[in-house]
């Protein structure tokens, strides 16, 4: 069997990237594409090293592979705490097993698809990309199904938690509903969006931004854009498209806070990479909550 090292490297970089990408999603750790690529290259270089120096048997051992996984996670995610590191490492192993299981399944149904030798996964030229594609699709379906089950089992629709929003010198404390249907993201930065009632947050907003909502001009995008453009907070504000909250093809005016705090006491979590979407209506009929929080922030 002929092995093309450039194809082997590319295959491993792609698979490693997908595994690390899924790890970042499941662990709710936001990592740049550059970091993901760097971790992928670390894993791929190990495979190339084994091919160039096959006589060094120590690198085929379980200990060596565990050390490699530790290094990949450290390079990609650089978690500051030991507890966080072990959590991400465990999710990395789970992601790897899911991808490996999907790949083995397709190898089983396509006996000419590839083989495993000395711990290296080889995919033959006539099926490599199709198998990687179908393996990735299968993994996405599996993760989606199990993620929905986890959310349904552990994140109830009536779960309300404390939320603190800090913007410049203003601080607002309110309660947020963990809403599994809130999948809004800022189209520019892909940051998750927390939907908050205007009346609950207006005290920390600049006066010119308050006027937009008090005069119900938020749906007049031309006028709202003019006001925001003239505001000194222009760089902090966003326009976020949405198709829920009782309206299709709508647009929320949002802003980037200094940070938010979710939960309380020992479960408190600070998040800075987030957008607050301002909703000029009531979210709760009985006023139990004033915001809708995405499950990925919990």
pLDDT reported for residue 158: 47
Q: Which residue has the tokens 């590191």?
A: 85
CATH architecture type of domain 160-297: Beta Barrel (2.40)
Q: Which residue has the tokens 């207006």?
A: 202
Has residue 26 got a pLDDT over 70?
Answer: yes
* pLDDT 10s digits, 100-154: 766 666 656 555 455 455 445 555 545 455 555 665 666 666 666 666 655 555 4
* pLDDT 10s digits, 172-215: 999 898 877 777 888 888 888 999 999 999 888 888 888 888 88
pTM score, whole prediction: 0.51
pLDDT reported for residue 156: 46
HSE, side-chain direction, 13 A CA sphere, residue 161:
22
From the list 126, 173, 179, 258, the catalytic residue is 179
Catalytic residue check, 208: no
Q: Are 178 and 161 in contact (CB under 8 A)?
A: yes
Going from N- to C-terminal start, the domains of the chain cover 5-154, 160-297
Portion of the chain with pLDDT greater than 90, in percent: 9
């Amino acid at each position: 069997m002929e092995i093309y090292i450039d194809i082997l490297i590319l295959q491993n970089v792609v698979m490693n990237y997908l595994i690390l990408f899924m790890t970042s999603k499941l662990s709710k750790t936001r990592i740049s594409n550059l970091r993901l690529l760097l971790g992928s290259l670390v894993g791929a270089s190990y495979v190339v090293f084994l091919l160039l120096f096959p006589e060094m048997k120590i690198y085929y051992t379980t200990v060596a592979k565990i050390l490699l996984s530790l290094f990949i996670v450290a390079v990609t995610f650089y978690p500051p705490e030991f507890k966080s590191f072990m959590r991400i490492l465990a999710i990395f192993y789970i992601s790897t097993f899911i991808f490996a299981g999907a790949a083995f399944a397709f190898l089983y149904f396509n006996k000419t698809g590839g083989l495993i030798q000395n711990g290296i996964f080889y995919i033959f030229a006539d099926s490599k990309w199709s198998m990687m594609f179908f393996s990735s699709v299968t993994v996405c379906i599996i993760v989606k199904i199990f993620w929905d089950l986890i959310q349904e089992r552990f994140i109830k629709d009536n779960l309300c938690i404390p939320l603190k929003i800090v913007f410049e010198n203003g601080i607002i404390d309110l309660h947020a509903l963990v809403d599994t249907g809130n999948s809004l993201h800022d189209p520019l930065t892909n940051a998750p969006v927390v939907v908050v009632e205007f009346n609950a947050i207006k005290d920390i907003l600049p006066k010119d931004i308050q006027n937009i909502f008090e005069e119900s001009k938020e749906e007049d995008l031309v006028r709202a854009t003019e006001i925001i453009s003239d505001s000194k907070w222009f760089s902090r504000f966003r326009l976020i498209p949405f198709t829920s909250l009782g309206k299709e093809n709508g647009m929320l005016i949002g802003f980037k806070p200094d940070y938010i705090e979710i939960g309380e006491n020992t479960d408190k979590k600070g998040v800075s990479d987030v957008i607050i979407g301002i909703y000029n209506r009531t979210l709760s009929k009985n006023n139990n909550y004033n915001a809708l929080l995405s499950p990925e922030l919990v």
